[in-house]
Amino acid sequence: MAIWLARRGGGLSTRESQPSLSVTLRVGRGVVNAAVTYLKPGLATLGCYAKVELVPPPPAEIPTAIQSLKDTVYSAQTGSFRQLWFYVGEIRGKRGITGCDV
Protein backbone atom coordinates (compact mmCIF):
# COMPACT_ATOMS: atom_id res chain seq x y z
CA MET A 1 0.00 0.00 0.00
CA ALA A 2 2.81 2.40 0.90
CA ILE A 3 4.61 1.71 -2.39
CA TRP A 4 1.42 2.53 -4.32
CA LEU A 5 0.99 5.78 -2.40
CA ALA A 6 4.63 6.73 -3.00
CA ARG A 7 4.25 6.15 -6.73
CA ARG A 8 1.10 8.25 -6.79
CA GLY A 9 2.96 11.10 -5.15
CA GLY A 10 1.04 11.04 -1.89
CA GLY A 11 1.45 9.48 1.52
CA LEU A 12 4.63 8.07 2.95
CA SER A 13 7.51 6.63 1.03
CA THR A 14 8.37 2.98 1.60
CA ARG A 15 11.39 3.82 3.76
CA GLU A 16 9.34 5.99 6.13
CA SER A 17 6.45 3.55 6.48
CA GLN A 18 8.44 0.46 7.53
CA PRO A 19 9.81 0.18 11.07
CA SER A 20 13.39 -0.94 11.46
CA LEU A 21 14.15 -4.62 11.86
CA SER A 22 15.40 -4.20 15.42
CA VAL A 23 12.11 -2.54 16.46
CA THR A 24 10.13 -5.33 14.83
CA LEU A 25 12.20 -8.02 16.57
CA ARG A 26 11.96 -6.25 19.93
CA VAL A 27 8.17 -6.00 19.69
CA GLY A 28 7.91 -9.61 18.47
CA ARG A 29 10.05 -10.86 21.35
CA GLY A 30 7.87 -8.95 23.81
CA VAL A 31 4.70 -10.50 22.39
CA VAL A 32 6.18 -14.01 22.55
CA ASN A 33 7.38 -13.48 26.14
CA ALA A 34 3.94 -12.19 27.17
CA ALA A 35 2.23 -15.18 25.53
CA VAL A 36 4.57 -17.63 27.28
CA THR A 37 3.99 -15.93 30.63
CA TYR A 38 0.22 -16.02 30.12
CA LEU A 39 0.07 -19.64 28.96
CA LYS A 40 2.53 -21.18 31.44
CA PRO A 41 0.03 -21.86 34.32
CA GLY A 42 -2.62 -23.28 31.98
CA LEU A 43 -0.11 -25.57 30.28
CA ALA A 44 1.14 -26.77 33.68
CA THR A 45 -2.43 -27.69 34.65
CA LEU A 46 -2.95 -29.40 31.30
CA GLY A 47 0.23 -31.40 31.86
CA CYS A 48 -0.97 -32.57 35.28
CA TYR A 49 -4.31 -33.72 33.85
CA ALA A 50 -2.65 -35.37 30.86
CA LYS A 51 -0.41 -37.47 33.13
CA VAL A 52 -3.46 -38.82 34.92
CA GLU A 53 -5.96 -39.14 32.07
CA LEU A 54 -3.77 -40.34 29.22
CA VAL A 55 -2.25 -43.40 30.86
CA PRO A 56 -2.90 -46.70 29.11
CA PRO A 57 -5.59 -48.90 30.66
CA PRO A 58 -4.48 -51.55 33.11
CA PRO A 59 -4.64 -55.13 31.84
CA ALA A 60 -7.83 -55.79 33.83
CA GLU A 61 -9.74 -53.12 31.85
CA ILE A 62 -8.75 -54.32 28.37
CA PRO A 63 -11.63 -56.84 28.00
CA THR A 64 -14.10 -54.14 29.06
CA ALA A 65 -12.65 -51.73 26.48
CA ILE A 66 -12.87 -54.37 23.74
CA GLN A 67 -16.52 -55.10 24.62
CA SER A 68 -17.32 -51.40 24.62
CA LEU A 69 -15.78 -51.06 21.16
CA LYS A 70 -17.80 -54.06 19.92
CA ASP A 71 -21.00 -52.48 21.29
CA THR A 72 -20.19 -49.22 19.52
CA VAL A 73 -19.59 -50.99 16.21
CA TYR A 74 -22.83 -52.98 16.60
CA SER A 75 -24.74 -49.79 17.38
CA ALA A 76 -23.36 -48.17 14.24
CA GLN A 77 -24.24 -51.20 12.11
CA THR A 78 -27.83 -51.43 13.33
CA GLY A 79 -28.52 -47.69 13.36
CA SER A 80 -29.59 -47.59 17.01
CA PHE A 81 -27.30 -44.62 17.61
CA ARG A 82 -29.73 -42.35 15.72
CA GLN A 83 -31.94 -42.01 18.79
CA LEU A 84 -28.96 -40.65 20.72
CA TRP A 85 -28.19 -38.17 17.95
CA PHE A 86 -31.80 -37.00 18.05
CA TYR A 87 -31.40 -36.11 21.72
CA VAL A 88 -28.06 -34.42 21.07
CA GLY A 89 -29.66 -32.35 18.32
CA GLU A 90 -32.54 -31.37 20.58
CA ILE A 91 -30.17 -30.27 23.31
CA ARG A 92 -28.09 -28.25 20.86
CA GLY A 93 -31.18 -26.69 19.34
CA LYS A 94 -32.55 -25.58 22.70
CA ARG A 95 -29.07 -24.64 23.90
CA GLY A 96 -29.57 -26.55 27.11
CA ILE A 97 -30.54 -29.91 28.61
CA THR A 98 -33.59 -28.61 30.51
CA GLY A 99 -36.84 -30.24 29.48
CA CYS A 100 -35.34 -33.33 27.79
CA ASP A 101 -36.58 -36.76 28.89
CA VAL A 102 -33.29 -38.59 28.71
48 lies in some domain = yes
What angle (nearest 5°) sits at the alpha carbon of residue 52, between those of residues 44 and 71?
135
> Is residue 13 in some structural domain?
no
3-state helix vs strand vs coil in the chain, percent to 5: 75, 0, 25
Kindly state whether residues 25 and 46 are assigned to the same domain: yes
Give me the torsion for CA of 83, 85, 89, 90, rounded to 10°.
30
The predicted pLDDT at position 1 comes to 45
Do 45 and 64 reside in the same domain of the chain?
no
Give the structural domain span for 32: 21-55
Portion of the chain with pLDDT greater than 70, in percent: 70
- The reply to whether 67 and 30 lie within a common domain is no
- Is pTM beyond 0.85? Reply is no
The domain tally of the chain equals 2
3-class secondary-structure state, position 87: helix
Structure confidence by residue, pLDDT tens digits, 25-59: 677 788 888 888 999 999 999 999 999 888 888 89
65 is a domain residue? yes
